[in-house]
Chains A and B, each alone.
Chain A
Amino acid sequence: MKPTDINSKVKPLFFKEHQRGIYKSLEDKHTTIEEIDSEDPLNSKMILNMGPQHPATHGVLRLILQLRGELIEKTKIDIGYLHRGVEKIAENKTYQEFMPYTDRMDYLSPYSNNVALCLAVEKLAEVEVPERAQYIRMICSELARISSHLLWLGTMVMDAGAISFFIWTFREREKIYDIFDEVAGHRFTVSHSRIGGVANDFTDDAVARIKEFVETFPQELKDWHGLLDRNRIFIDRNKDVGIVKTEDALDIGATGPVLRAAGYAVDQRIITPYLRYDKVDFEIPTRLEGDNLARYFVRMEEMAESIKIIEQCFDKMPKGPIRTNNAKQAYPSKDEVYYSMEGMIHDFMMTDTGICPPAGKEVYHAVESPKGELGYFIQSDGTGHPWRLKINAPSFRNLQVLENILDGEMVADTVVIIGGIDPVMGEADK
């Protein structure tokens, strides 16, 4: 009968232009809703809002799906519900002061974020970091990767319908939290990596805990492989679902496991080795299918590779200092602060102005965080705080992929596909 456009049906209470803008962007010749369509007597065409606040949308992700029956015709993703202006805050803090904020970006693997910022600032200010600190950072980053992948695994399998799995992966995550508690003094937002080194050395207890975890975890992984790899329900829900085609993956800007599951072995640990990743042997798991199942295999194998890296780090880790000795570049140890005047002055100077990289210098440094390439771009103006700090966030890039791959899928698969992409909104919204 009468065609009416979507916007006439939308009555937003606030952010009027914004809501209208989203629906307008959905609109083309396919999306004009007709009052009663002669081809659509059951009125199966509809616009479905998923999220922002629903456990299945992994935080505060809002999806606007245009449906025809159970088929998604077109997707728009609305983000920004968690936007905290982290880059603006960075411009008004010293480099060290900004460190705790990085923990809260990708809050499922805080350690990777700490390391990414530290490495960028160290490259900018030419700070030499002792060998032992590098290995400590590597071990903790790999633990963070396992921790992040465990949460993805638990929630993704839960999205596919299995609840008890979630508890098992959280049991393992709990062990990693205990390790971080011992290493850094915090369970969740660790802020352990510092500019010029790390906050404190591994205790004997911490080393024992990590070694125990490294020994027991591969068996768990094997059990999970046994449960899922040939599980009919799991395979049927994930195979050929949410396919990122190999030829599209680079073009849409996929990164991390999403890109590797589509066939490109792009990993910053290999492409531009940082820390001591050139000294250890590991492989980059890849798949060609680009579907959800491929991403599952890539991440599972990555966890096994992480265990391998941690074992090698313990073999190669030398004894020695864990922070640079130059008091103009890093905080002095608390012993110096409490018992010497110079130490106290340096501590005050570090807190007040912090490290001052040369004016006009620019740096970009990327690490391979669990979600993909996490890069910090910093422009210095010679003061203690960055002139411009830009975070290249992997979740943000992968969400753009999600917007492109959902078209043509079923509504029921949406949740599994979001799980497979593994976005963290804290990082995507910055």
Chain B
Amino acid sequence: MSLELNDTLQGVVDGLSSNYSEDLIEVYQSCDHTYIRTEAENIVELCKYLKEKHHFIFLCDILGTDRYTSDERFEVIYNMMNLRSRDRLFIKIRVEEENPVVKTVTPIWKAAGWYEREVYDMFGIRFEGHPDHRRIFMPEDYEYFPLRKEFPLLGIPGSIELPNTTPDTE
């Protein structure tokens, strides 16, 4: 499939292929948006480059996906925006099932703090160097990661501890 890129995104693809050619894996488009898949190691440098050189100053979201039964099971997708040219760009990296660790991008965008915590909470992907690495929706005592595909829809009975005494009514 041929790519239809505007000036900004063409600049991004050219810039990445000349500076980070070893990291770049594929560039494709789906439903008007451009996705760039790269190696996970240099994600921090790459994001920094995109923010400083290509003005992607607004990080809208970070999300995880579970490619259950595939190699490199998890995917982390960074959804960022260039407010000057109003372009949206998605950067993707893939993470191994065993010991999934990614470097944090919180030094680049402060907004990443809660997004990364959410990815960790739902998929168990840890973010190295995160300043406040806790779960966000589930309690810290919870052992499972609910959005993984093998987690049952009805939940696991008894997995959340409930108070064993009736509360004090005074």
Contact = CB atoms under 8 A, between A and B. Distances in A.
Contacts of A218: none
A397 B31 contact: no
A250 B164 CA distance: 45
A362 B113 contact: no
Contacts of B65: 379, 387-388, 390
A88 B153 contact: yes
B161 interface: yes
B153 A80 contact: no
Given A363-B31, A379-B65, A253 B139 contact: no
A396 to B, nearest CB: 7
Could you say which of B122, B164, B165 has the most chain A C-beta atoms within 10 Å of its C-beta? B122
Interface string A44-74: 0000000000000000000000000000000
Interface residues on A, range: 35 or more
Contacts of A158: none
Contacts of B146: 85, 88
The B interface is mostly helix, strand or loop, or mixed, namely loop
Contact of B140 (A21, A390, A429): A21
A392 B61 CA distance: 7
B30 A80 contact: no
A397 B111 contact: yes
A237 interface: no
B80 to A, nearest CB: 11
Interface string A370-388: 0001010101000000011
Could you say which of B61, B139, B163 has the most chain A C-beta atoms within 10 Å of its C-beta? B61
A31 to B, nearest CB: 14
A375 B77 CA distance: 14
Nearest to A89: B153
B108 to A, nearest CB: 9
Contacts of B165: 13
A79 B114 CA distance: 11
A101 interface: no
A79 B117 CA distance: 12
Interface residues of B, number: 45
Contacts of A18: 135, 139-141
B30 A79 contact: no
B141 A390 contact: no
A252 interface: yes
B34 to A, nearest CB: 11
Given A21-B140, A25-B132, A83-B137, A400 B61 contact: no
A17 interface: yes
B105 to A, nearest CB: 12
A124 interface: yes
B104 to A, nearest CB: 15
Contacts of B63: 377, 390, 392
Given A88-B153, A363-B31, A252 B163 contact: no
B61 A272 contact: no
- 3 closest Cβ pairs, A-B complex: A253-B111, A80-B137, A18-B140
Given A124-B31, A253-B114, A388-B66, 20 more contacts: A13-B165, A14-B164, A15-B140, A21-B140, A25-B134, A80-B135, A80-B139, A88-B147, A89-B153, A92-B153, A123-B31, A252-B110, A253-B59, A364-B33, A377-B63, A377-B77, A392-B61, A392-B63, A396-B118, A430-B137
20 contacts: A15-B140, A15-B141, A18-B140, A21-B134, A83-B137, A85-B146, A87-B147, A252-B111, A253-B110, A253-B111, A253-B114, A253-B115, A361-B30, A361-B31, A364-B33, A366-B60, A387-B65, A397-B111, A397-B114, A404-B110
